[in-house]
Amino acid sequence: MPIVDVRPVVSASRKLPSDAAQTLAASIARVLGADTGRVWVRVTELQDGKYAENGAMVEDDDLPVFVQVLHTDWPDEEARVNEAEQLAAAVASSLRRPVERVHVEYAPPGRGRVAFGGKLVR
């Protein structure tokens, strides 16, 4: 089930390639070991004027990417540690961003909260 939201901060000179969503979906699915059609990736660009870091100006080469992962159930902590590292590397490679600027957040598990086609995931 994983649903992955990827929000890269972009500028006039750091736009995303037109195939970014498909590239991300393929690389994220490899990390998650998911079968075809089992990982859904939503990409939302965040304009650099809508992003700031306190006390610092962020150069185009350091624009971050925020990744939120929704699993049916959370993997155990050790699996999340490994998965987060691999996801950050895959997203960084796919978007040509520094891995240090890719930030992964885990959403609360989807079981009992998410419904596909009106059918609650149990």
Is 65 within 8 Å of 92 (Cβ atoms)? Answer: yes
Rounded Cα gap, residues 114 and 1, in angstroms: 10
Tens digits of residue pLDDT in 81-103: 999 999 999 999 999 999 999 99
Its pTM stands at: 0.95
Segment (H or E) for 117: none
pLDDT at 1 over 90: no
Q: Specify the long-range contacts of residues 76-82, CB closer than 8 Å, at least 24 apart.
A: 80/106
Which is it for strands 119-120 and 115-116: parallel, antiparallel or unpaired? antiparallel
Tens digits of residue pLDDT in 13-26: 989 999 999 999 99
Domains, the chain, with CATH or none: 3-120 (3.30.429.10)
pLDDT at 59 over 90: yes
